[in-house]
Structure 1
């Protein structure tokens, strides 16, 4: 069951029929993709991902097992992509209080309200606006104490060279 896809569809107030129609597939096929009985082709995954403004790899992440994933799984490193609207389009190894899929389509300020959140969003905005990588140390206050991350952010470009968002690599320091 792809509960993250169902949640994303419902949060955007679409029916299965509306999504299927917008991405030019049969509603029954879309329903099978949502309930996990069928995997979409790469082409269909890209169509659905474009519709929801997420990265198509989220459909296949659970099937990937390579040295990259093995090395980073449970490490203090969080990798993510966001669009120019700062909404997450892909997340790997999310902080333990979140699941990767619960972050998709959300902005940081929709998940938390703190000085760290503001600093992270400002950092991503600057990377997208100026088209230059940045590195910062950001403290995120939590009820159980602060967490400090060393964050590297860089712009993401499309095939034509336009900035489409930002990629971040956050390493937990404490």
Structure 2
């Protein structure tokens, strides 16, 4: 079951029929993709991703990220993408306080409020507006205390070389 896809569709107040129609696919096929009984082709994943403003790699994260996951799982590194409105479109290895199914499609300030959240959003916005990479130390409160991160942000581009968002890699620093 792709619960993240269901949450995202419902948050955007779309029906399965509306997503399927806009993505130019059959509603029953979309329902199977949402339930996890079928995997979309890369072309179909891209069409659905365009409708929902997400990264199409989310559909294949179990397959394409195996070497990446083996190297980074349980590491102090969080990798994420956001769109131009700073909504998460992809995330890997989030802090245990965050459920990946509820993070996709949300902005940081919809998930938590703190000076660190404001700083993180400011970094992403500056990356998108300037088109430059930025690195900054940011502290974020979590259930296990205040954690300090070395955050590296860089622009995300589409095939036409237009900036479509920002990618961040956040490494938890030792106290």
TM-score, normalized by the shorter chain, greater than 0.5: yes
Q: Which residues of structure 1 form unaligned runs of 5+?
A: none
CA contact (8 A) 2:127 2:153 kept: yes
Moved more, 153-162 or 15-24: 153-162
Distance in 2 between the 1:4 and 1:81 partners? Answer: 15
Q: Which residues of structure 2 form unaligned runs of 5+?
A: none
Does residue 122 of structure 2 align to residue 122 of structure 1?
Answer: yes
CA RMSD, Structure 1 to Structure 2 (Å): 1.2
1:99 CA displacement: 2.6
Distance in 2 between the 1:73 and 1:123 partners? Answer: 25
Residue 44 of structure 2 is matched in structure 1 by: 44
Residue 19 of structure 1 is matched in structure 2 by: 19
Does residue 47 of structure 2 align to residue 57 of structure 1?
Answer: no
Distance in 2 between the 1:141 and 1:102 partners? Answer: 18
Q: 1:152 is paired with a residue of what secondary structure?
A: strand
Change (3 A) 1:131 1:139: same
- The number of aligned residues is 174
1:144 CA displacement: 4.2
Distance in 2 between the 1:95 and 1:168 partners? Answer: 14
* TM-score with structure 2 setting the length: 0.95
Distance in 2 between the 1:2 and 1:145 partners? Answer: 31
* TM-score with structure 1 setting the length: 0.95
1:143 CA displacement: 5.2
